Chain A
């Protein structure tokens, strides 16, 4: 491909720009529906012509999908280079599994505002994802289902009465629904309450993990909570349960923040402002350090201890300082030292109110 031309938009996704309901604690709500086509072998078993046919069928739906809520574009994994694929992973628009899969006619359909992404030939033939800012799971489900209905109008879905939507993995069968929320829980972490609460959540059939998918560590005080069970409950029920739990966690985090303010105002003010100072003046910063400091600053903004920074910038930065995005933004490959330098610069500029889109020379 032509390395000078950027295929992907560097634009910040809608879910990163606006806060949404309970947006000080819940960064995003996500719903994904796993769907397959009847009788066609699942992607890992399908022949090249079979998976190509699946992609073709989905492609033919683009006009109908675009007519619904704005233009939808398709990117095949083999037309994107590894950096571009990684950018999509960092923006949470595709899964790492899809990014690593260039053989099976894998692709993603992206709506312009990046709220809807439809992965084709991932683990399942189709994975319809809706990603919204803040806590709005019901809305996310509703939107994902709209696209689901549009696709089902033409595509022959694999469904049976007993098992519901048939999926590759038996853990997804039934509704094929995985709903999740990404939450920022600095006060619960600081006050060492998080593990107690997160363990309790695990006992009600929900999974808790870091934000970069299965097995990832908790970084930047960000956790993801999602449903595990997909069979025997309706999608609405699953989403309502998760919403209920998320609301509880929001309440706990809010209380913990209040306690931090009441009992240790000076200490917390000192901590978050020191973190801001480091971010403002650092010349080299690792991803891990950046996430921790950004989390502190965000907490400072939420608590009213830092007034000169806009909270929304921090939400963007928490995700956009990631390695692939940095390299895509600067337009070249960077080694880890250069990335630390570029990251520090990006954060400095952004905290000073500059836009991200200007290319560095």
Chain B
């Protein structure tokens, strides 16, 4: 049977509607049925969430069951999402979930990104003194290199810069408290 609408494709969707005791029958192809919105095709789609929970469950091997059980009980005290729910949804509930689930996230994120440390942009306010501390680390590195090359004048300059930044970082941390 051909689709009543386009008369081109096979009718594979057969709709029977009963409105006020009157019966209407329609034979449509999938495309026309979808366009008419007569039928919502809800295929069980394989989503990113399925994939993520698959990745997470890799951790729950038989030998690790005890640990797995403990992890399931982890819960975020801010939004109430449990680790088990996170496993099903593949989504965090709020920013504090990251702290609540802590080290349990490491294998998952490593599998997704191949890394477990953010190296990009640091926001001005929310980053607190992180930016300063990263700069201090960089300068320390340079200081060591300068010392190794016996460039003591340069080293002294770097040392002063480091002190200054450390001072700023201390002030910043005091302000945060």
A residues neighboring B (CB under 8 Å):
36-42, 44-45, 145, 148-149, 152-153, 156-171, 173-175, 177, 229-235, 336
Contact = CB atoms under 8 A, between A and B. Distances in A.
A152 B98 contact: no
Contacts of B92: 42, 166-170
Interface in B85-138: 90-96, 98-99, 105, 108-109, 112-127, 130
A323 B107 CA distance: 44
A42 B98 CA distance: 13
A160 to B, nearest CB: 6
Contacts of B108: 170
Contacts of B124: 149, 152-153
Contact of B113 (A145, A159, A231): A231
B91 A175 contact: no
A40 B92 CA distance: 12
Given A152-B124, A161-B130, A174-B118, A230 B113 contact: yes
B155 interface: no
Contacts of A171: 48, 52, 112
B81 interface: yes
B76 to A, nearest CB: 10
B69 to A, nearest CB: 22
Contact of B109 (A36, A149, A163): A163
B65 to A, nearest CB: 23
Given A39-B94, A170-B52, A175 B105 contact: no
Contacts of B94: 39-42, 45, 158
A175 B81 CA distance: 24
Nearest to A36: B95
**Interface majority SS (helix, strand, loop, mixed), chain B:** loop
B127 A173 contact: no
A174 B95 contact: no
A232 B118 contact: yes
Interface residues of B, number: 35
Given A159-B127, A171-B48, A229 B93 contact: no
Nearest to A123: B91
A215 to B, nearest CB: 9
Contacts of A163: 98, 105, 109, 118
A160 B170 CA distance: 19
B78 interface: yes
A23 to B, nearest CB: 28
Nearest to A173: B109
A149 B126 CA distance: 11
A232 B91 contact: no
B117 A162 contact: yes
A207 to B, nearest CB: 12
B75 to A, nearest CB: 14
B128 to A, nearest CB: 9
Contacts of B120: 164, 174-175, 177, 233-235
A157 B126 contact: yes
For the complex of A and B, 7 pairs with smallest distance between CB atoms: A232-B115, A164-B118, A158-B95, A231-B113, A175-B120, A159-B126, A157-B126
A170 B109 contact: yes
B79 interface: yes
Nearest to A40: B94
Given A168-B91, A170-B108, A171-B52, 16 more contacts: A37-B95, A39-B78, A41-B79, A42-B91, A42-B94, A45-B79, A149-B124, A156-B125, A157-B125, A162-B117, A164-B120, A169-B91, A229-B112, A232-B118, A233-B115, A235-B121
Contacts of B79: 41-42, 45
Contacts of B122: 159
B42 interface: no
Contacts of A170: 52, 90, 92, 105, 108-109, 112
B22 interface: no
Contacts of B81: 45
B35 interface: yes
Given A45-B81, A163-B118, A170-B92, A152 B123 contact: yes
Interface in B116-165: 116-127, 130
